[in-house]
Amino acid sequence: MTETENKNKREYTKWVSCWGNATSITDRKEATYSKNLTLRYPIEIPFGGDKLRFRFSNLTGTEDVKLTKAYVALKTDFCRSLTPITFNGETTAVIQPGKELESDEVEFRVEAYDTVEVSMYFDDFTQMNAGTLITGPLSKGQYSYGDYASAETLPLDLTRHTQWFYFLNTIDVHTEEKNHALICYGDSITAQSWPDWLAIRARERGSHNVAVIRRAVSGTRILRQYDCITYQAYGLKGATRFPIEMNVEGATDVIIQHGINDIIHPVGTDVNPFRPWSDMPTLTDLQQGVEDIYVSYARKLKLNVWSGTLLPILGWRTYNEERNTLREEFNDWLRRSPLFDGCIDFDKAVRRADCPKAFAEGFDSGDHLHPSETAYKAMADCVPQELI
C-alpha cells in the first residue's frame, strides 16, 4: 500500500487538543495597547488529522478585543495552504472580556509533526492583557507592525521575536481514535522548557499519538492570587485557573507540578505590603488545596492525575530552613498519597545526591529556583514512558 493510500485509509473520528497554553494577565507595563499589529506563532502538530479548530482567549482582559483576521498555513507550503480562520462564517470576530471564543472548524489536513503557522492581525487599538510568557525550543513567536497576516515572510525591519503568547489558547485537531492529550499544569517551572522537551522526547521515540498541552503561568500559587498591578502577572489562583485550563479535548492525564510559590512568596508586610505572612500555608493547607481544587475536579473529568514533586530551593533569595522543610514534607506526601495515579519525582531527578535541598551540578539556572536547560531535559526524561 502506498503512503497516499495509507493516509486516505485513516479514520478521523474525534477532536483532540494538539497544542495549548494557559491565559493570564500580562505584565503591566507602561504600554498596554497595540495597534496595526500582526502576531505569528509556529505550532508543531504531533499527529495527523483532517480539520483544525482554534480557541482564542480574552479571559483576563477588561475590554473587547477585535480580531480583524486570522490565518493558518503549513510552514513548508505557506502560499498553497493559507486558510482563513472564521467565526460563524465571518473572518472578523470580537473576543469579549473574560471570555474565550472558538473558531469554526477549518478543513485543513496535517500529518504528524507538521508545523503550522497561526497568524493574527489587529487593526485597531487592542488591549494586550490576555497572554502568557512561555519559553522552550518549541515555543517561539513573532510580531510585526503592519498587516502581514497573509504574508509568507514577515518583513525583517518591522518584526521582532516574542515568547509572549497573546490570545491564542488552544488548537484542536480532528484525528484518529488512538490519539490523546497529556496536560502539564503548573507555574514558571512548567511555563519554561520541560513540556517542550517532553514533546520532543515523544517525537524522537516515534510516538505519533500524544500531544503535550501546557497550562502554566509564572508566579501562580495554589491558594492565593495578587490583586495589585505589581504582581497581577503572577496569575490567578488554583481554584480559578484549574477548571478553565482543564478544558482540553481528548485529555487522558494531567501532571500537576505546583505549590512552590505558595511556600516562597510570603515575606511579611514590613518587607513587601503585598506578601503578608498570613499567606504562608501549612502542610495541611497545601494538601487540602491539591485534593479539593485539583484532584477532585480532575476526577470529574475522568483524568488520571500525576503528582510532580517541587524542586530544590537552596540559595533562593527567600530561602530558609522552615520553607525547605515544608517543601520536603509536601514532596513526601506527593510521593505517597493514594490520591494520585503516580508520582513524577522531578525533585529527585535534579537534586544533588549529597545535598538534596540544592540542585545538582549544572542543573541550576543561576537563581537557585529555576532549572537550567539541561535540568529541564532531565525533568522531561523522568516522565514515565507510558505517558508518551
CB 307 within 8 Å of CB 367: no
Q: What is the pLDDT along the chain (388 residues), one digit of tens a residue?
A: 445 545 556 899 999 999 999 999 998 788 899 999 999 999 999 999 999 999 999 999 999 999 999 999 999 999 999 999 999 999 999 999 999 999 999 999 999 999 999 999 999 999 999 999 999 999 999 999 999 999 999 999 999 999 999 999 999 999 999 999 999 999 999 999 999 999 999 999 887 899 999 999 999 999 999 989 999 899 999 999 999 999 999 999 999 999 999 999 999 999 999 999 999 999 999 999 999 999 999 999 999 999 999 999 999 999 999 999 999 999 999 999 999 999 999 999 999 999 999 999 999 999 999 999 999 999 999 999 999 8
290 DSSP 8-state letter: I
In the Cβ-directed half-sphere of 154, how many Cα atoms lie within 13 Å? 25
Under 8 Å between Cβ of 24 and 131? yes
Amino acid 1: pLDDT: 44
Give how far Cα 256 sits from Cα of 59, 227, 269, Å.
22, 24, 30
CA distances from 32 to 10, 24, 99, 387 (A): 46, 14, 19, 40
Alpha helix segments (H runs only) across the chain: 3-9, 78-81, 188-191, 194-204, 238-245, 260-264, 283-289, 296-300, 321-336, 346-350, 373-381
SS3 assignment, position 187: coil
Asked if residues 44 and 138 have their Cβ atoms less than 8 Å apart, the reply is yes
Within 10 angstroms of residue 239's Cβ, the number of other Cβ atoms is 15
CA atoms within 13 A on the CB side of 265: 23
- Indicate whether this model's pTM tops 0.85: yes
Residue pair 142/117 in contact (Cβ under 8 Å)? The answer is no
Do 139 and 216 touch, CB atoms closer than 8 A? no
